[in-house]
Amino acid sequence: MNIGLPGPVDTIDPDIGGARSELSKAGIGYIGMSLNNFYDNSLPHAFAPTHAQQLYNGQNFTASSQNFMFVTYDLSRFGIPDGQIVVAAGDSQYTWNAGGPSRFGLTMATYYQTFLNRTFELKLGYVHNGWEFAGTNVGGSLASSVFGPAGSIVYQGGVNNANVPTPGVIFKYNIDDHFYDKATAQRSISPDGQVAEVNANPAAVNWTVPNAGVLYLNEFGYKRDAAPSVPQMWIRAGAAYNTSNYKNKEIPGTRTDGNHFYYLLADRQLWQNVPVKGSAGRGIYAGFSVMYAPPELNTISQYYEGRLYGKGLFDSRPDDMISLVLTDTVFSKYLVSQALLNSQLAHKDSKAITVSYNAHVAPGIYASLGLSYIDRPTSVTHTTKTGSALNALAALNVFW
């Protein structure tokens, strides 16, 4: 995973009754998490009559709860160094189905192995590539897409995630201590989105769903961890091709095989706050994201993000993070043109600015508060009542 999850000490049950220690003796490890997010638009005259008619996160009060349990089994006891089996299940609930959708079922079932002194890494099974590629969660967990998980270019391009895992294989080549090349071939999620995927495959165990093909994705990157006087830096670029049969936005009513997308993201530590040994990761960071997908096959064609964030800026709060994130989401020019021809109010893009503060409240408990202003929060078309939104954001994440 490319986002850091808390270790066993930073959980609500580090080792109650010695259970975690006893399981580890048998080669079994686990981590559970409950990720809860809340959005509420504070501007008047923007509310939908019902959640079924809701068009974006926060238009009505919107809440989501994702609960996962990961169990690992270490195979080194059988003479297979670094061999590991991971199985996970999850339950996701959303008050606005388009932001999710709600489901219970498989989250991950993989076998992991390294080769040649960890130069190569292999993972195969029902994979979860949303945590493996691009690293879109860096620098501001509350600044997620205003259109829900399906709004991101990587997800509309077919990348799976914890809500919609699919069969696949991941191969990573660690060129040296910093450079790497990482590739995957996975069954694409439905080209019609996550709601269609879950409707066709609610337990996430089916090998195929209608119109879905294979997604091929390769990422090349440079990653350097923070150390005293050595700032953290992570640059990654990816390209993907999807054989799925997508709805053609240029020629309505038709489908076209072969979608693709590209991305470039970079983050760097600008200043270090190192009051004690082992705290080089504290400091101020900056980063950006640029993504592209062809407008004839994708609702979102371009995505731009700039971010500035600080980790552990206050000695009394070494684990807290504050972030400022600016985004611009550009829609398919063909969908915009069609909407204008139909005398609808349409916009070519949606801009947003988000500030948030993430606090480490107690072992295993993190809480966030934020505020996000979004100009044109709906996708492509809008009304006089949905011209902008000012979302109050909150999150509560619990790990065990």
Q: pLDDT tens for residues 232-272?
A: 999 999 999 999 999 999 999 999 999 999 999 999 999 99
Rounded CA gap, 100 and 93, in Å? 7
Asked whether residue 8 is assigned to any structural domain, the reply reads: no
Asked whether residue 9 is assigned to any structural domain, the reply reads: no
Q: How many domains does the chain have?
A: 1
pLDDT at 307 (0 to 100): 94
- Domain limits for position 208: 16-399
Q: What angle do CA 103, 105, 109 make, to 5 degrees?
A: 140
Q: Is the pLDDT of residue 137 over 90?
A: no
Q: pLDDT tens for residues 19-76?
A: 999 999 999 999 999 999 999 998 887 788 888 888 888 999 999 999 999 999 999 9
Q: Tell me how far CA of residue 396 lies from CA of 34, 86, 369, in angstroms.
A: 8, 25, 9
259 contacts: CB under 8 Å, gap ≥ 6:
157, 158, 191, 241, 242, 244, 246, 293, 294, 297, 298
pLDDT at 5 (0 to 100): 74
Rounded CA gap, 91 and 65, in Å? 8
Asked whether residue 11 is assigned to any structural domain, the reply reads: no
Q: What is the CATH classification number for the domain harbouring 321? A: 2.40.160.180
Asked whether residue 1 is assigned to any structural domain, the reply reads: no
**pTM, full prediction:** 0.92
Rounded CA gap, 100 and 226, in Å? 35
Asked whether residue 2 is assigned to any structural domain, the reply reads: no
Rounded CA gap, 314 and 311, in Å? 9
Asked whether residue 5 is assigned to any structural domain, the reply reads: no
Asked whether residue 300 is assigned to any structural domain, the reply reads: yes
